[in-house]
Structure formats: structure tokens, C-alpha cells
Amino acid sequence: MSAAASTPHVSAEPETLALLRHSVAGLARFDGQRIRAWRDRSPGFDRALWREMASQGWFAIPVPETEGGLALGIEAAAIVAEQLGRACLPEPYVMAGFLGPMLLAQSTNEAARRELLPDVLSGETVLAPAWQSADGGISPSTPGVFARPDADGFVLSGESRFVVPAEADIYLALAHDGDGLLVAAVERRDVRMLRQEPGPDGVSTAWLGFQDLRVPKSRLLMSGEAVAARVQAALDHAVIVQSAELCGLMQRALEMTLDYLRTRRQFGAPIGSFQALQHRAVDLFIQQELARHATGTAVRAAANATDCRVLSRAASSAKARAAHAALLIATQSIQLHGAIGFTDEYDLGLYVNRIVRLAASFGNAAEHRRRFAAASAET
Amino acid sequence: MSFRYGVEQERDWNALTDEEFRAIVRAEFEANYPTELRYAPRRLRWHETKDWYLRMAAKGWIAPNWPVEYGGMGLSPAKLLIFHEETERWGIGRYQDHGTLMLGPVLIRWGTEEQRRKYLPDVLACRSIWCQGYSEPGAGSDLASLGTRVVLDGDEFVITGQKIWTTLAQDATHMFLLARTDPGAKKQEGISFLLLDLAQKGVRVRPIRDIAGHEEFCEVFLDEARTHVSNLVGELNRGWTVAKSLLGFERIHIGSPRMPEYGLTVLKRVAEARGVWDDPLFRDKYFALALDVQHLADAYNHFTAIVIRGEPLGQDVSYLKIWATETFQRIADLTVETAGPFAAVKGDVRLNDTTVNVLASFYKARPPTIYGGTNEIQRNILAQQVLGLPRR
């Protein structure tokens, strides 16, 4: 039995993917002024741009056609994420534009699916998966929220943390009911915002409190035995797509650094002509290429996976490399730029801060290396 | 009717599916390659590999990369890759194979009909063994500064100079070499590509003992060694172009993940025998390396797919060599660390329930970062030709 196979998958044609890459690159352009303007401001991203992204169909990628989606598969999502990474967009595509719609589309509650999905796909409703407990573990099997049965549904209590976007319209709350996992759709007004924690990239995360919150059956999206594997598979897909976003970020950061090495002159020569710096640049390039291919391999594994352990292993392989490579490129790019690289007015810092954030969320390199080790022992 | 270079191929290999072809190759290797020679800790000598390669020659499998009309297997890039994968998988030791790997492709592309007919049949039958005379004591990374001199004496070239790091020259009967035919020209311009019979009094081969105690490379002293002018390959003073043209398909093999993969299995055996396989500190290090190897394989597969599509490889393929060879070194170094006091024992070491050659990886991992263009030279090339950084 396979959990991974339950996720929608249709391999898109290469031409479709090339067109998609082109159209994402056209819409998602780097705009440092805009990024700086949204930092530390509610809701941390531009809802108008979010609707425009929706109108391009990007959020419909992981949704089956029967649900009004495009069913383009993870290859397409990875392309979107990579291009958004290149532009350093703060918009929470992986969480709210990919993982959220994917989970919702897999809901066994048809009425809820029919009611919520259209507005999510149009960008009107913004989803935020609330799956991680306050201690930050990366396994969904131990969420921080507990669900106990009630006459007409469930009562949720507990906390969820690192929720992105912090100010979503609907949270997809993952909870444990004693036997297994369930996912419920919860309105923002019903949840207590314990704290909004600021991120290095200016995007905050929510620390949510559920205090005996009654959730009617009509808002229960999925429950029962299959949920754990389904949520794990969805998270693994999201980890892979997030690795693609990191690839886009590190590519741009390295390009900026190579440009700088080519143009900055000291001692009467471009500093990029010095062998010590050339060799360091090559080592960063190697890491970038490894991340690209590790992510590409994971994308293909996810598109074809019939075994959830194979999927988890591939996802961890990609994120372990992408997070390591991106952080290395980010920090070395600062050093190769010199002091200017540490200033807020220079655009490199926006990439560095975004990389720091994404490398740490959904499990960092060390956590994914350990998960890769565990998955390798099983397979 | 037409000239026959080697034995006839028993079938059209490319007409088989990849799976069928792989099964045939694997079956042959598994059934007939001597077990005691699998995964040898050093380059094997001709007296050790001779029986196997004569068998390959008799089967017509000695030159999988050559076209059928020249006596090779004529494999497509995909099939050739499978052949190499199976060779590596079974840990088959190389002989001094520069004749099939390098000389054949050079003569097929640049040689005359006379040169091909004279030399290729002997290469295919293993009657001649070729070595490569490129490096000199004063010309390593800066190969174009080589100084071996050539003067013309009637219809013979007279060659004087010294070659070094010549792999298994003590097993070789012939050498293809680069030498300076125009001392007035600059660097690359005055170099020619020559073929030389080593069985003559102007040639002296001295094996060099390495720090592992093996003799895998040699010095070759050329003191008025003679070769007929018909042994010039390509045009006079254009040898650099001939030599450079070889850097195609072969460049990918040095980046293959098989060697580091094998290193990992040795490391795991050492860790299990030492009782640290379940130690979290060790596991962190081991799986970081396992991921380094995994991602090498991911990148390698990307490049092999390009080869299989029949497209040319870009300069960026050089990073595979850097990553493969340095990853193997890190694995070898952790193997030594994990072995503790057992790394002070040379050769096969009794380590609890198992026997491992702890230092084999350590020594085997040193030359690859130096040969085939040092990793420093590879980084220069990548920086300037792929990343577009300025030359000094």
C-alpha cells in the first residue's frame, strides 16, 4: 500500500513546463523596494499579487482536474518555486499555494472541499497548514494539538507553531485524536494568536493556541488511518518544492557574487582574477549544482514514488543538500562581497535572510541528514 | 575483402535492449572474472590481468568504445555506459588500457590508414600495450611547457628527454607521446604527437615506488630514441590539438560514483567491526558522506543522460571529477579515523569478525585529485570557462 501514490500526479509535457517557467519568470520579478516595504508589516506579503499568482493557475498545480485543478504534478510546482526563489518573493507559495491546496484537495469531506477550494484557487482565501508543534519537531506524527470527540465533531486543544502565513484566513490544523491524526479547517477568528514571531526575512510566523475549540464534523477534512501517511507524503512534497525555492535563491545569490567578483577592482585587477577567490567560487558552484540535481532527483522520485519511504528519503536528500548549499552560498557571498554584503541597502542581504529562513523551516540540513539516515536504514 | 582489425562481433549489441545487454555483460563478468582480483587495492600488473584480458580480446570485448569496422564492440553511448557500470560494479581491475582507451580513438580520428592497420590489430589482440608519455619533471600542470626534444635524422625522429608519472610503463611495449618538434615556436604550437616502440636501446624505464609501496608509475628516459617519420599522428606541430581531442567521453568516467560508493561499504564494515555503526556521532559523519555520494550520483546521472542523448558535454563536467575524488578522500580519511589503531596496520587487517584492508582507500584516494589535471587546474578551468571569472 502506498501513501505517496494517493497524491495527484500527471507528468506535464516539457513544452508546458518551459512555458510555465517563462510565465513565472515574467510575473515574479525581483523588486527590492517592494520586499523591503512588506518586511515586518501585516500580513507580510501582497494579497493583490497573491490573487494574480492564483489567476495564473499556480495554486491549482497539485489539485486534480475533477476539483477544478490543473493536476500538473510536482515538476510544475518545483519550477514555480525555483523562479519565485530567484525573485526572492516573500509570498508564501510553498505553504499557502502548494501544501495548503494539496491537503485540502485530498480531503475526504466533499462538502468542505467544494466550499473552500474555489476561493483558495482564486487567491481570495489564504490557507496556512498548522502542523508543527511548539517544540519544532519535523515529524507530523506528534502535532501539538489534541482532538477529543464531541457530540457533533471534535474539540481541539493545544498549540501549533511556525505557521506560515501567520495571518491566514483558514488554518489547516493537524491534530492527534488518540488513535491517529486528523486535519480540520479552522477560521482565523476562532484561534488564539499567542504570538507572531518575526522572521529574518521580515515574514512572521504564527504561534497558535487552541483552547477547547469546537470543530463541527463539517469542518473535519480528513481523519482515520490513512491520514498520517497522507500528511507525511504532502509534507515531503512540500519539502521538495521548498528545496527548489532554495535552489532559485542560491542561484541568484551566486550570480550576484560572480558579477561582483568580475567587476570589483582592488590591487589594480578585478578581484575575481585572484585564484584563491576563483577556487572558492567554484566550490560554491559545485554545491549549487549538487543541490539542483538532488532536487531534480527528488522531484522525479516524488512523481513516480509508490513507496512512502522512498519519497521521504528523496525529500530529505534534497533538503539536506539544498539547505546546506544555500546557507554556504549565502554566508560565503557576504564574505566575497566584503562589508557591502552585510548592509541592508545592498540586495544580497534580502537573499541571505530568505535563505536563512527557508533553510531552517521544514527541517534544516542536519535534521534531514538524520531523517535520510533513518530512511536509508529502513529501505 | 576489407581489412580485418580484430575478431568478428558475435552480434549487433546495440540491437539489444539495455536490460538484455546488461545481463549478458554481467553474466560474463560474474562467471569468468577471477574472484581474487575483484576490487584490487592497487593497479594490477599485466602478469596478473593477462589471462582475463586475453579472454576479452578473444571475445572481441577488449575495445567496447571502438567502432565495429575497427574491431571494437561499436557500443552506443548508452551501451558503453552500461559496460563501464558493470565493469566497475564487479570491481574488475584495469590493465594498462591506454591502447584501447586513448590510442585507438586517436588513430581512428587522426591517424593514417597505414597507422591504423599497423597498430590497431595488435592493440585488439593485446600483443602491444601502450602507455602515455605526457608529463615531464618540468611539465606537470603546465604541460605545454614540455621540453622533450625531437630532431629529424633522415626518415627518423630522434627523441631525447624524460617522461614521468607514466602509468605502468614497465608493462608497456609502446608509448604515444607529446614532444617538441619546433623549439622556436611558443608553448602549444611546436608540439607533435608521436608513436614510439619502447623496445630499443634509447629507452630506459624506471618504476617509481609510491608511498603505498606499489609501483604503478614510472620514469621513462629517452636518450636518442628513434621512431620512423610515419609515426607522426596528425600534422607536425599540431600534437596539442590531437591530445586535447581525447578529452571527451572519458572525462565523465573519472566522475563516476562507484569508487566512493565502494569506499562507503568499506567504511561501514570498519564501523561495524569497531562497534560504532550505531554511534550517533559516527552516523552523522557517515550519512553526510552518504549524501555527498548520493548527490554525486544524481549529478553523474544528469551528465550520462546528456551523453546518451548524443549531445556534447560542457566544460562544467569538470566539477564531477572534483566532487568524486574529494568525496572519496573524505570517505577514506574517515575510514582511517574510524579504524583507530587498526589504521596502523598495513594490508589486510583482522578486525574482530572481519578482514579489511583499512589503508587501501586511503592510498587509492590520493592520486585521483592529482592525475587527469589536478583539482586545482580543474577549478581554474571552471572559474574561467564556466563561471566567466577573469584571467589574471
Of the residues B287, B309, B318, the best mutation for testing chain A's interface (the one with the most A CB atoms within 10 Å of its CB) is: B287
Q: Are B292 and B327 in contact (CB under 8 A)?
A: yes
- Least CB–CB distance from B283: residue in A286, A321, A373: A373
B21: Cβ contacts below 8 Å, ≥ 6 apart: B13, B79, B82
State the pLDDT at residue A2.
37
Contacts of A339 (CB under 8 A, 6+ apart): none
Please say whether the beta carbons of A262 and A364 come within 8 A: no
Burial class of residue B19, CB neighbours in 10 A (0-12, 13-18, 19+): exposed
- Which pairs with CB-CB distance under 8 Å and at least 24 residues apart come from A136-140? A136/A161, A136/A162, A138/A362, A138/A363, A138/A367, A138/A368, A138/A371, A139/A232, A140/A174, A140/A181, A140/A228, A140/A231, A140/A232, A140/A235
Interstrand relation of B174-180 and B130-133 (parallel, antiparallel or unpaired)? parallel
Closest CA–CA distance from residue B233 to any residue of chain A (Å)? 36
- A79 and chain B in contact, CB less than 8 A: no
CB pair distance less than 8 Å for A293 and B379: no
Q: Residue A353's pLDDT is what? A: 98
**Cβ of A18 under 8 Å from any chain B Cβ?**
no
Q: CB distance from A273 to chain B under 8 Å?
A: yes
Each residue of B299-320: pLDDT tens digit?
999 998 888 888 888 899 999 9
C-alpha cell at B197: 616502440
Q: Smallest CA–CA separation between A250 and chain B, in Å?
A: 15
Strand partners, B129: none
Cβ–Cβ gap B299/A376 under 8 Å: no
Could you report the per-residue pLDDT of B43-65, keeping only the tens digit for each?
Answer: 999 999 999 999 999 999 999 99
Check: CB of residue A141 under 8 Å from CB of residue A228: yes
Low-confidence ranges of chain A (pLDDT < 50): 1-9
Nearest CA-CA distance, residue B391 and chain A, Å? 5
Nearest to A78 by CA among A312, A322, A284, A309: A322
Structural contact between residues A303 and A75, judged by C-beta atoms closer than 8 angstroms: yes
ipTM surpassing 0.95, yes or no?
no
Residue extents of the structural domains in chain A: 4-126, 130-223, 227-378
CB atoms near residue B350 (< 10 Å) = 11
Q: Which residues of B touch A (CB under 8 A)?
A: 283-284, 286-288, 290-291, 294-296, 298-299, 301-302, 316, 319, 322-323, 376, 379-380, 382-384, 386-392
Q: Is A155 on the interface with B (CB under 8 A)?
A: no
Residue B200's pLDDT is what? Answer: 97
Cα separation, B332 vs B341, in Å, equals 15
Q: What topology does CATH give the domain A4-126?
A: Butyryl-Coa Dehydrogenase, subunit A; domain 1 (1.10.540)
Residue A237 to chain B, least CA–CA distance (Å): 18
Helix (H) or strand (E) holding B230: none
Task: Decide if A258 and B389 are in contact by the 8 Å CB cutoff.
Answer: yes
Query: What are the chain A neighbours of B301 within 8 Å (beta carbons)?
Result: 293, 297
- A197 three-class SS: strand
Task: State whether A281 and B383 contact (CB < 8 Å).
Answer: yes
Backbone angles phi, psi at B61, to 5 degrees: -105, 10
- CB atoms A290 and B386 under 8 Å: no
Distance CA A246, CA A359 (A): 8
A4 touches chain B (CB under 8 A): no
C-alpha cell at A90: 516573500
| DSSP per residue, B285-344 | HHHHHHHHHHHHHHHHHHHHHHHHTTPPPPGGGHHHHHHHHHHHHHHHHHHHHHHGGGGG
CA distance B223 to chain A (A): 38
Domains A130-223 and A227-378 share a fold: no
Phi, then psi, of A193 in degrees rounded to 5: -85, 100
**Among A302, A293, A250, CA closest to A98:** A302
CA distance A339 to chain B (A): 21
CA B55 to CA A2: how far, in whole Å? 48
**What confidence score (pLDDT) does residue B248 get?**
58
**Fold exhibited by the domain A130-223:** Butyryl-CoA Dehydrogenase, subunit A; domain 2 (2.40.110)
Q: Which amino acid is at A361?
A: S
pLDDT of residue B34: 96
C-beta of residue B65 within 8 angstroms of C-beta of residue B15: no
Contacts of A282 in chain B (CB under 8 A): 319, 322, 379, 382-383, 387
What confidence score (pLDDT) does residue A3 get? Answer: 38
Domains along the sequence of chain B with CATH: 13-95 (no CATH), 130-238 (2.40.110.10), 250-386 (1.20.140.10)
Q: How many CB atoms lie within 10 A of CB B311?
A: 10
> Which of B282, B285, B294, B309 should be substituted to probe chain A, the one whose Cβ sees the most A Cβ atoms within 10 Å?
B294
Q: Which of B189, B224, B235, B250 is catalytic?
A: B250
So what's the pLDDT on residue A11?
63
Q: Mark yes or no for CB contact A272/B322 under 8 Å.
A: no
Phi, psi of A199 (to 5 degrees): -100, 160
Say whether B283 and A261 touch across the interface (CB within 8 A): no
Asked whether the beta carbons of residue B388 and residue A320 sit closer than 8 angstroms, the reply is no
Name the closest residue on chain A to residue B386, using Cα atoms.
A282
Interface with B, mutate which of A275, A289, A316 (most B CBs under 10 A) = A289
Q: Is B8 a known active-site residue?
A: no
DSSP string for residues in B132-182? EE--BTTBSSSGGG---EEEEETTEEEEEEEEEEEETGGG-SEEEEEEES-
How many pairs of residues across A and B have Cβ atoms under 8 Å apart?
93
- For chain B, the average pLDDT equals 94
How many Å lie between the alpha carbon of A86 and the closest alpha carbon of chain B? 18
List of chain A residues whose C-beta atoms are within 8 Å of the C-beta of residue B288: 369
Fold exhibited by the domain A227-378:
Butyryl-CoA Dehydrogenase, subunit A; domain 3 (1.20.140)
Chain B positions in Cβ-Cβ contact with residue A374 (cut-off 8 Å): none
Residues of A in contact with B286 (CB under 8 A): 373
Chain A residues 311-330 with a CB less than 8 Å from chain B: 317, 320-321
Residue B210: pLDDT above 70?
yes
pLDDT value of position A379: 55
Which positions in chain B touch A290 (Cβ < 8 Å)?
295-296, 298-299, 323
A100 within 8 A of A333, measured Cβ to Cβ:
no
User: How far apart (Å, rounded) are the C-alpha atoms in residues B137 and B205?
Assistant: 15
List of chain B residues whose C-beta atoms are within 8 Å of the C-beta of residue A273: 389-392
User: Using CB atoms within 10 A of its CB, is residue B26 exposed (0-12), middle (13-18) or buried (19+)?
Assistant: middle
Grid cell for residue B321: 571529477
Cα separation values, A355 from A50, A207, A347, B129, Å? 21, 21, 13, 55
CB contact under 8 A, B319 and A366: no
Chain A hits for B319, CB-CB cut-off 8 Å, are 282, 285-286, 289
Q: What is the pLDDT of residue B249?
A: 57
Residues of A in contact with B291 (CB under 8 A): 317, 320-321, 369, 372
Matching residue, cell 574491431: B71
Any chain B CB within 8 A of the CB of A290?
yes
